[in-house]
Amino acid sequence: MAGEKNKEKLILDSAVALFTTKGYNATRMEDIAKRVGISKGLTYFYYKNKEDLFMALTKKAFDQFKEEFREVLRSKGKTGLEMLTDLTEKIINFSKEQPIYYYAVVNFLEVLKKYNDSMSRREIDPLILDSIHFHKLLEIHHEPVKLGIQMVSLGIKDGSIRPELQPEITFYTIWSMIIGFEKMSGPVGFEGKETKVSAEAWKLGYIKLMQEMLRGTIQASRPAIVQTSLF
């Protein structure tokens, strides 16, 4: 049993390495088998196809992603707002240091969006829908969100986050902002762009804006009306 689990891990680790360097589409199951040093047939014994393997990789990505949340939540002596700030930094670093895992997480969110709609569900590859790992993901994908919601709730309780905010809506908004931040890092970091803002300055500004939004320190002000007379 231990040997089988080790084989599964070796196949998965090799898939991560090849998907990262060659890309998902360019990687074949035989490439993965060759890297592990086993037969292609044995690879199919553990994973039915490449789609099934990618869903297993996605499950592992969510497990690691959840651990990032847990690590922040376990930190002592921090307010909810400080936890969310730390979490934002961790997710941004996760996207850079574990790009294939981060891609897998975001990709699953796109698949889930289709899965939730009966018409769009037809667009999902049947091999994905047939994967046992996909169905495991349906059961556990919300776990990181639950931890993030706890952080918002703690912040409301300790006074670091404005009390009128609804924890669930607030965390989903923060997460969508982080995903948008990561997607926009390409345009912001592009040398030939017309807008003059460095990636580091944008990151600091983004975090500050998020903190102020959660604290409630951003207040819209109307311009003063100056009474004048034509005569």
Whether 224 is in a domain gets the answer no
Going 78 to 80 to 85 to 91, the CA torsion angle's sign is positive
Q: Which residue from 96, 97, 11 is spatially nearest to 56, judged by alpha carbons?
A: 11
The reply to whether 189 falls in a domain is: yes
Measured distance CA(200)–CA(157) in Å, rounded: 32
Contact 72, 51 (CB under 8 A): no
In this structure, the answer to whether residues 92 and 186 fall within a common structural domain is yes
Pair 169, 87: CB distance under 8 Å: no
Please tell me the number of Cα atoms within 13 Å of 28 on its side-chain side: 6
Whether residue 181 is found in the same domain as residue 67: yes
Q: DSSP H helical segments within 116-166, as ranges? A: 126-129, 132-140, 143-158
Residue 7, pLDDT score: 87
Give the CA-trace dihedral at 71, 74, 76, 77, to 10 degrees: 90
With b meaning 16 or more CB within 10 Å and e meaning fewer, what string describes 172-194? ebbbeebbebbeebeebeeeeee
Identify whether 229 is part of a domain.
no
pLDDT at residue 188, as a whole number: 72
Q: Do 19 and 57 fall within a single domain?
A: no
- 69: three-class secondary structure by DSSP: helix
The pLDDT score that the predictor gives to residue 220 is 44
If asked whether residues 144 and 184 sit together in one domain, one would say yes
pTM: 0.85
pLDDT in tens, the chain (231 residues): 445 668 899 999 999 999 999 999 999 999 999 999 999 999 999 999 999 999 999 999 999 999 999 999 999 999 999 999 999 999 999 999 999 999 999 999 999 999 999 999 999 999 999 999 999 999 999 999 999 999 999 999 999 999 999 999 999 999 999 999 888 877 776 666 666 777 788 888 899 999 999 998 655 444 455 554 443
Q: Is residue 60 part of a domain?
A: yes
Residue 193, pLDDT score: 60
- Map tokens 């994908």 to a residue: 141
Quick check: 65 and 51 in contact, CB under 8 A? no
Expressed as residue numbers, the domain containing 15 is 1-47
pLDDT at 231: 37
Are 215 and 161 in contact, with CB atoms under 8 Å apart? yes
Residues 128 and 14 in one domain: no
Report the distance separating Cα 139 and Cα 190, nearest Å: 39
Helix (H/G/I), strand (E/B), else coil: 63 = helix
40 and 62 both lie in a single domain: no
Which CATH number do you get for residue 88? 1.10.357.10
Task: Provide CB contacts within 8 A for 43, sequence distance 6+.
Answer: 11, 29, 30, 32, 33, 36
Residue 231 belongs to some domain of the structure = no
